[in-house]
Amino acid sequence: MKKYFSVLLIVLSVITSLNAQVNVKPLNPSETTQKMSALLQLINGFYVDTLDMSHLTEEAIVSTLKQLDPHSSYISKKDVEKANEPLEGSFEGVGLTFQLYKDTILVIAPVPGGPSDKVGILAGDKIIKVNGEDAFGKKITNQWVMDHLRGKKGTEVTVSIYRHGVDGLIEFSIIRDKIPLNSIDAAFMLDNKTGYIKLNRFARNSLEEFNNAIIDLKKQGMKNLVFDLRSNSGGYLSTALAISDEFLPEGKMVVYTEGIHSPRQELDATKAGEMENGKLAVLINEGSASASEIVSGAIQDWDRGVIIGRRSFGKGLVQRPFRLPDGSVVRLTVARYYTPSGRCIQKPYNEGVEEYYKDFAHRLEHGELMNADSIHFPDSLKYTTHGGRTVYGGGGIMPDIFIPWDSTRFNELYFDLIRKGIFNSYVNDYLDANRQKLNKQYSDFQDFNKNFKISEEEFDEFITRAKERIEVKQEQLEPNTDFMKLQLKALIARNLYDTNDYFEVLWPEDRDIKKALETINEDLVYRSYGMEKGE
């Protein structure tokens, strides 16, 4: 166990060294480093039972970090690579999206140009064997699939596929490769002048994806943009800065960071910028956090665009990763970030981590998700934008235009259908029986989107299947029937064509997007929020 004690001592000495570098009050060894080392040695030498001292040390680290703030965190050595994957923007594997369906691996779609796509694996295929081992039954979990299909670039894996209409299994040998993780879910035109981009996280490759989407939409005539950051929980600060730079002129401050041990650092926009002109609407909600709030805060403070939706999450803390001697990582909060007007939008966390993450439930209880008037900010948190509009700090970005939660559409029945997988189950069976017919009937997604509808008979079958698993209350079903049909159509489009097409099917019934487009198209309304015409 000596190595664990030495690791802990090295960690504490690193902290001591850092303290010395930033000129703060030094640690008292008898009250800190020596005390902790003595405790661990006492436990290891005298405790009544045998203990996993490595695990005990990790638990002590986790408990310590919980006393600091809700966002300082510990990542074990084995989880470091997995934790970084979504933000790094790639992994190595076979390149397909899948879903576990009836204890079987169902291919939703191969990644375009990826290894599975190159050998001819298709949406709707079912993986029955991996390297000769059965790939179905109760043992099959998401982790099992990743353990068996992911692997080092250049290595080979053999899969046996069941394909509807083909006798026997088809065997494919796939050479693993680097697979991109896209951070843009959708990019398409809402009308002949306004484009739409939905970003799900601020990853390392997000700026490149964003610029490619902008270039493509401009070729289609885009002058204005609806930028969807709803439920985007954040990512790299550098990426948030780079994407904000696409909207703001050179020299405009995007954000500044400051902490007791971190001197103030101001980050400004540069000459670069693909969308410095044109009208802009940014969509946010209670799930928009961190980097999303940096971007929306900068746009709001400079009156560059109108913010639409509901109050954002309220994460205004900056984490810096510190690698520990065993390869594990501590993400430690080192500073707060502030919008250009001086707002820190970090919500309070003095009541502990559990209460902090119950904030959504508290907002629901207080009526905030339904009515903007239930939100009260003290005058001490009042700030002004570049154009003189009043904005507030201390708890997220408050939108310029509030859109209430749609409790009629997103009701108990809808969420039961989602939770129990009834939407996906029906769509998978529907496509199993109709994929070939649909591919012949519709030449492409646009043809499908224009002409396909879920029939009354098909919807009745869907509800009949739902009743086998959940209670279907008529008062919850009737006002939601049309939206549920649209949801089924969108899921069919996603599985038949692309993820982008799922969002394109749904947007005409999305109140936030409709309000954004309406605001952009009405010059007087847009200007009433301090915006220039922008075209």
What DSSP line would sit under 348-378, residue for residue?
P-TT-HHHHTTHHHHHHHHTTTT-GGG----
**Whole-angstrom distance, CA of residue 518 vs CA of residue 146:** 44
Q: Average pLDDT, stretch 214-234?
A: 96
Token pair of 179 as six digits: 């697979």
- Of the CA atoms within 13 Å of residue 105, those in its CB half-sphere come to 27
Question: Positive or negative, the Cα torsion across 140, 144, 148, 149?
Answer: positive
**Whole-angstrom distance, CA of residue 162 vs CA of residue 106:** 10
In this structure, of 189-198, 326-335, 354-363, the range with the lowest mean pLDDT score is 354-363
Tell me whether residue 25 is exposed, middle or buried, using C-beta atoms within 10 angstroms of its C-beta: 0 to 12, 13 to 18, 19 or more.
Answer: exposed
Q: Strands, DSSP E only, in 118-247?
A: 126-130, 133-134, 156-162, 170-175, 177-180, 184-189, 194-199, 224-228
What is the CATH class of 90-180? mainly beta
In the sheet that holds 224-228, the strands lie side by side as 184-189, 194-199, 224-228, 280-284, 306-309, 401-402
- Write the Ramachandran bin of 158: left for phi over 0, alpha for psi from -120 to 50, otherwise beta: beta
How far is the first Cα of the chain from the last one, in angstroms, to the nearest whole number?
A: 67
Token pair of 421 as six digits: 């997988």
Q: Where are the domains of the chain?
A: 2-67, 90-180, 184-326+333-405, 412-513
| Catalytic annotation, pick one of 228, 245, 301, 400 | 301
| Catalytic annotation, pick one of 126, 198, 315, 515 | 315
pTM of the model: 0.83
Residue 341 designated active-site: no
**Whole-angstrom distance, CA of residue 503 vs CA of residue 186:** 7
**Are β-strands 194-199 and 224-228 bridged in parallel, bridged antiparallel, or unpaired?**
parallel
pLDDT tens digits along 44-58? 889 899 888 888 888
Contacts of 258 (CB under 8 A, 6+ apart): 264, 265, 335, 336, 338
Indicate the pLDDT class of residue 254, thresholds 50, 70 and 90.
Answer: very high
In this structure, of 60-74, 89-103, 281-295, 434-448, the range with the lowest mean pLDDT score is 89-103
Question: What SS3 class is residue 258?
Answer: strand
Nearest to 485 by CA among 467, 465, 448, 458: 458
- pLDDT value at residue 298: 97
- pLDDT value at residue 133: 93
Average pLDDT, the chain: 88
- pLDDT value at residue 532: 65
Indicate the pLDDT class of residue 25, thresholds 50, 70 and 90.
Answer: low
| Catalytic annotation, pick one of 290, 292, 312, 328 | 290
CATH of domain 184-326+333-405: 3.90.226.10
Token pair of 402 as six digits: 């509030």
Token pair of 358 as six digits: 């119950």
In eight-state DSSP terms, residue 150 is -
Indicate the pLDDT class of residue 253, thresholds 50, 70 and 90.
Answer: very high
Residue 290 designated active-site: yes
- Which residue type does 246 have? E
Indicate the pLDDT class of residue 11, thresholds 50, 70 and 90.
Answer: very low
